[in-house]
Amino acid sequence: MKNRLQHVLCALDAMERTARMQSPLHRTDTRAKLLVTLVFLLTMLSVPLVRLPNLLLFFVFPIITCAMGNMSYGTVFRRSLIVLPFVAFIGVFNLLYDREPVFRIGALVVTAGWVSFLSIILRGLLSVQALLILVNSTGYYRLCRSMQRLGVPSVFTTQLLFVYRYIYVLVEEALAMQRARDARSFGRRSYPLKVWGTLVGQLLIRTFDRAELISRAMLARGFSGRIPADVFEHPAWKMRDTLFLAVWSSTLVLLRLFHPVETFSMLINNL
Residues of the chain with pLDDT under 70: 1-3, 102-106, 109, 185-193, 229-235, 261-271
In three-state secondary structure terms, 115 is helix
Pick the last residue of a domain from 79, 104, 136: 136
Query: In terms of residue numbers, what domain contains 204?
Result: 140-225
Burial 199-224 (b: 16+ CB within 10 A, else e): beeebeebbeeeeeeeeeeeeeeeee
Q: Confirm whether 236 is domain-assigned.
A: no
Proportion of the chain above pLDDT 90, given as a percent: 23
Return d(Cα 65, Cα 36) in angstroms, integer. 11
Residues whose CB is less than 8 angstroms from the CB of residue 120 and which lie 6 or more positions away in sequence, other chains included: 49, 87, 90, 91, 94
Q: Which tens digits make up the pLDDT trace of 64-109?
A: 999 999 999 999 999 999 898 898 888 888 877 777 776 666 677 6
Q: Which tens digits make up the pLDDT trace of 202-233?
A: 777 877 887 788 888 888 888 777 777 665 55
For the chain, the domain total comes to 2
Number of H helices, E strands in the chain: 13, 2
Q: Are residues 144 and 85 in the same domain?
A: no
pTM above 0.75, yes or no: yes
Q: Are residues 160 and 188 in the same domain?
A: yes
- Which candidate, 247, 243, 239, places its Cα nearest to that of 61? 247
